[in-house]
Amino acid sequence: MTPPVTGKSPERREQADRPLLLASGSPRRRELLAALAVPFEVAAGVAFQELTERENQALSPSEFVWRNALGKALAAARHFPRRTLLAADTIVSLGARIFGKPSGPAEAAATLAALGGQTHLVQTAVVLISASGRIEGGIERTRVTFRPLNSAAIQRYLAAVDVSDKAGSYAIQQHGDWLVSKIEGSFSNVIGFPLERVAALLARH
């Protein structure tokens, strides 16, 4: 009997059957991606030296976040060739100033003081590299307006939330109502993974 024609070689079928690789160590991104019910694995053991806001001399916030997300994706692709993978990077910016993860409690307090009473931008760059090497992605932007914050409000928040690994020194999902008065755009983007954009990107693959 002649075998059915599938239109794909055995190698391409094997690639299609392998789950998506998430090039991120963030537990928040893992939880959000799991909410989409997409089978995935975490790309472990991939080293990539991100550009920090302190090292950045010329890139705009949008260029900065895209550079880091693309770098993560390419580093993972070198370690895991012929796999479809997803990478992301999130930053908080106020004008041209980028707020990364705080170096300690003093910097975290200074960041929240700078953001208090202001509207800042949360940007997440998402990059997908297909098994064939095609690169696709984009940047999700959400405007977040903080309440005016005095020293007592800042210290109350920092006592309740560990912000050591949080860009902008806050986590919207943890007592975010203490800080935020308004959000314009994707809520999941502020957590660090814009589900709407990610779902649309994966639907094409």
Catalytic residue annotation: 89
What is the DSSP secondary structure assignment for residue 164, as one 8-state letter? Answer: T
151 and 172 Cβ atoms separated by less than 8 Å: no
The two structure tokens encoding residue 45: 């053991």
How far apart CA 45 and CA 41 sit, in angstroms, is 13
Angle between helix 151-160 and 105-115 (nearest 10): 130
Note the residue count of the chain: 205
Whole-angstrom CA distances from 2 to 5, 70, 122, 154 are 9, 44, 56, 71
The two structure tokens encoding residue 133: 């090497």
Task: State the pairing for strand pair 20-22/85-94.
Answer: parallel
Number of Cβ within 10 Å of residue 167's Cβ equals 24
